[in-house]
Amino acid sequence: MACIRIQAGDFSVDQEWSALRERLDANAGAVAAFVGLVREVHGDSRSSLELEHYPGMTERSVEAIVAEAEQRWSLAAVTVIHRVGRLRPTDQIVLVLAASAHRSAALAACEFIIDRLKTDAIFWKRETAGDDTRWVQATDQDVERAKGWAGN
Amino acid sequence: MIRVLFFASLREAVGMDAWTFSPDSAGSPPRLSSLLAALKPALEPDGYAALTAENVRIAVNQEFVDGAARIDLKPGDEVAFLPPVTGG
């Protein structure tokens, strides 16, 4: 029941929301949504972010995250869209929608998926600000957050 | 022939996005260790060091492998070197 897409183009939250609702039956009482936006780098509004992925393996890494969420919680529907390519500050970069009978499962699954996208999905970010360009390093904080789900 | 892919910071460190490994047809099946040995002369020392760093993960046919050096390879395999990921 999951809709997973890796794409260069933008997405419409309205359209994805409508598409998800069409997949729900009358038992679904909650949908949690997360949208990630690109921040500017070091206060430079002309900075940019480039996302690289490994076609095929990246899709499967996201599918595995969603499959784990579906095992942990009873989910009516899930949508994950992650963009790749060159993005600008304020652009949408990632969308997670998780639907369930009740809010606790929907909210927890949504948070779980976005935490795992940070640490387990196959993407690499490169920031460019002015003449300076660098590959983003994984933060210990992200790794700790994702690990926090291991014991739950 | 075995296709070898380098991603993100590793692609820049080795100066190429792909490389072809043509193992000797005679003898035992090639392993990742023999691939690395064949690759080493084609790289600058910094590039080789980046590839063999502890936090680099290796995928064979798009599946992560552990204890990678002993994995047997076969013609048509795709081997990828992946630096730590930063999605979301």
State both tokens at A26: 């009358």
How far apart CA A5 and CA A105 sit, in angstroms, is: 22
User: For residue B68, is pLDDT > 70?
Assistant: no
CA atoms within 13 A on the CB side of B33: 7
Instruction: Indicate the helix (H) or strand (E) that contains B47.
Output: helix B45-51
Give the pTM. 0.92
Please report residues of B whose CB lies closer than 8 A to that of A126.
8
Query: CATH second-level architecture of B2-82?
Result: Roll (3.10)
- Could you state, in chain order, the average pLDDT of each consecutive group of 10 residues for chain A (152 residues)? 94 98 96 96 91 98 98 98 97 98 98 96 95 87 79 61
Scan for tokens 């196959």, then name that residue: A122
What are the residue boundaries of the structural domains of chain A, listed by start? Answer: 2-146
Q: Quote the minimal CA–CA distance from A26 to chain B in Å.
A: 31
Q: What residues in B contact A120, CB-CB < 8 Å?
A: 85
Record: contact B85-A51, CB cut-off 8 A: no
Specify the pairing of strand B78-82 against strand B57-60: antiparallel
Residue B82 contacts A where some CB pair is shorter than 8 Å:
yes
Q: Which residues contact A152 (CB under 8 A, 6 or more apart)?
A: none
Q: What ipTM was predicted for this assembly?
A: 0.91
Task: Give the residue extent of every domain in chain B.
Answer: 2-82
Task: List CB contacts (< 8 A) between B83 and chain A.
Answer: 124, 135
CATH (residue range A2-146): 3.90.1170.40
Q: Per-residue pLDDT for B7 more than 70?
A: yes
